[in-house]
């Protein structure tokens, strides 16, 4: 046995119900949980590493279903702090047209570091800007993920409709559609790993229904389904988007996606803020995944999505922190807490329970990304674990009342330890293998030189 965590308080999900297991050992071998059982001294025999768990809450690694990792380059940018989505995008495209490998890798590393330090062990990244002449490829993100040790769904995104065709981005930020499809296939063949415990998968992800042609939507869908890949895009985020689609396509965003076959178990959509009743039913009927991004929706003034209503209908929902330019941070645990609070603003104190918020951040995200081996602490699940100290001042009092309540209601501290694939990537509240301060300084230097 590689590792055993002894006598811990384990917070997990059994079937669909969050549970607290007090005084349990977690046995790990080969990056996989082999046993979760009441503490027994015999369990430590032959273990290479023993982690005393008496002081720990142990929970599954959280799963982030939507991000733009490179956006750490432009977070907090003064000129867009008070802009809604379309104005925000139009201004930021003028900054993002200067992206290159170094900038994306450093920015992605910072974003991944934030995720790991907030208890997130798996992330989706929607990377869709490949400026002309930059030579930029998805490897910039994949290299950052490899170095920091996070599990990733790298979405090879795309934009092909620039300003000259009625789109938002400058033409220098969009690509030829044949090039998009060719490089998408290259990325899949080179990097996609469909195995149950894979550290790296490639999803295909046009930026939005209005940033690519109908032909590219259909061709991307065909490429994805012929290779058993997930599909991802933004949808129904703002009223401006809704009005744009009605004017341009005579269809609401979800209707437009449905017309093009872009709903189903292999599709997940970011935001879904502005939905009518029939659209909610359609998302449930097709089991299309939804990445709920509460902080971004509030930051941009986009609205409050009907998550509680979607869940009551049986929708497949996870949580996304969204890009660091629309959230200005990447704290997955805080995002789960915000999801809970925001639904209560919309629907009252009972609209989102602590247990439901915990599920969204763990098994909900796993369902959205089609990862059956993630999101729980139980045998044959990936050894992606987050360990919080029960004696952290942030949990004082609450953890003695209800560990699940402590995790979801209290302002979350940094975890003491984070494990991905059985490997410790956060130790004593800091990155185990990367100099955090040096990384932050590198990003600050880049921003001062080229992205202010």
- Indicate the domain borders of the chain: 3-60+381-431, 62-368
CA 162 → CA 112, 126, 174, 175, 301, distances in Å? 29, 18, 6, 9, 25
pLDDT tens figures, 49-60: 999 999 999 999
Contact of 381 with 395, CB cutoff 8 Å: no
Three-state DSSP state, 178 = helix
Token pair listed for 233: 């895009």
DSSP state of 61: P
Q: Which among 392, 433, 440, 439 is positioned nearest to 416, based on CA atoms?
A: 392
Q: Which CATH architecture has domain 62-368?
A: Alpha-Beta Barrel (3.20)
The rounded distance, in Å, linking the Cα atoms of 112 and 146 is: 10
Of 271, 366, 369, 283, nearest to 321 by C-alpha is 271
Pairing of β 267-271 and β 231-235: parallel
DSSP letters for 376-434: --STTSB--EEEEETT-GGGTTHHHH-HHHHHHHSPP---SEEEETTEEEEETTEESSS
Residuewise pLDDT in 10s, the chain (452 residues): 799 999 999 999 998 899 999 999 999 999 999 999 999 999 999 899 999 999 999 999 999 999 999 999 999 999 999 999 999 999 999 999 999 999 999 999 999 999 999 999 999 999 999 998 899 999 999 999 999 999 999 999 999 999 999 888 999 999 999 999 999 999 999 999 999 999 999 999 999 988 999 999 999 999 999 999 999 999 999 999 999 999 999 999 999 999 999 999 999 999 999 999 999 999 999 999 999 999 999 999 999 999 999 999 999 999 999 999 999 999 999 999 999 999 999 999 999 999 999 999 999 999 999 999 999 999 999 999 999 999 999 999 999 999 999 999 999 999 999 999 999 999 999 999 999 999 999 999 999 999 98
- CA-to-CA distance for 80 and 119, rounded, in angstroms? 29
* Rounded Cα–Cα distance for residues 361 and 277 (Å): 25
DSSP element (H, E) containing 151: strand 151-158
Beta bridge partners of 382: 32
- Cα 36 to Cα 10, 186, 375, 379: the distances in Å are 9, 40, 14, 6
Q: In a 3-state reduction of DSSP, which class is residue 115?
A: helix
Topology of the domain covering 3-60+381-431: Urease, subunit C; domain 1 (2.30.40)
CA distance 56 to 171: 52
User: Is this prediction's pTM over 0.85?
Assistant: yes
């Amino acid at each position: 046995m590689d590792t055993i965590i002894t006598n811990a308080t384990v917070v997990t999900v059994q079937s669909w119900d969050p549970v607290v297991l007090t005084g349990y050992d977690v046995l790990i071998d080969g990056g996989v949980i082999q046993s979760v059982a009441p503490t027994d001294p015999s369990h430590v025999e032959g273990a290479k590493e023993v982690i005393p768990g008496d002081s720990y809450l142990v929970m599954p690694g959280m799963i982030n279903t939507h991000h733009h990792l490179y956006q750490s380059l432009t977070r907090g940018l003064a000129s867009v702090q008070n802009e809604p989505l379309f104005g925000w995008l139009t201004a930021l495209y003028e900054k993002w047209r200067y992206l290159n490998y170094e900038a994306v890798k450093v920015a992605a590393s910072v974003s991944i570091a934030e995720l790991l330090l907030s208890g997130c062990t798996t992330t989706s990244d929607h990377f869709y800007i490949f400026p002309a002449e930059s030579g930029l490829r998805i490897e910039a993100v994949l290299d950052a993920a490899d170095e920091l040790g996070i599990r990733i769904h790298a979405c090879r995104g795309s934009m092909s409709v620039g300003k000259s065709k009625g789109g938002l981005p400058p033409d220098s930020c969009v690509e030829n559609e044949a090039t998009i499809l060719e490089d998408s296939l290259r990325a899949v063949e080179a990097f996609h790993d469909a195995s149950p415990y894979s550290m790296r998968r490639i999803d295909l992800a046009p930026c939005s229904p209005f940033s690519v042609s109908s032909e590219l939507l259909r061709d991307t869908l065909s490429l994805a389904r012929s290779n058993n890949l997930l599909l991802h895009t933004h949808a129904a985020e703002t009223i401006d988007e809704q009005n744009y689609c009605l004017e341009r396509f005579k269809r609401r965003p979800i209707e437009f996606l449905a017309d093009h076959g872009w709903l189903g178990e292999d599709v997940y959509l970011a935001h879904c803020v502005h939905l009518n009743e029939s659209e909610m039913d359609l998302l449930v009927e097709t089991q299309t995944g939804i990445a709920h991004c509460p902080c971004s929706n509030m930051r941009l003034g986009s609205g409050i999505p009907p998550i509680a209503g979607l869940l009551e209908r049986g929708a497949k929902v996870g949580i996304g922190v969204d890009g660091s330019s629309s959230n200005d941070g990447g704290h997955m645990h805080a995002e789960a807490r915000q999801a809970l609070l925001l639904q209560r603003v919309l629907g009252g104190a009972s609209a989102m329970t602590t247990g439901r918020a915990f599920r969204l951040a763990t098994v909900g995200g796993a369902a959205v990304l089609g990862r059956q081996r993630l999101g729980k602490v139980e045998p044959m699940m990936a050894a992606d674990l987050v360990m919080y100290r029960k004696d952290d001042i942030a949990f004082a009092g609450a953890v003695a009342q209800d560990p699940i309540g402590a995790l979801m209601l209290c302002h979350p501290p940094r975890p003491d330890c984070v494990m991905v694939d059985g490997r410790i990537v956060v130790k004593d509240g800091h990155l185990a293998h990367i100099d955090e301060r040096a990384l932050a300084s590198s990003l600050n230097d880049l921003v001062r030189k080229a992205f202010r």
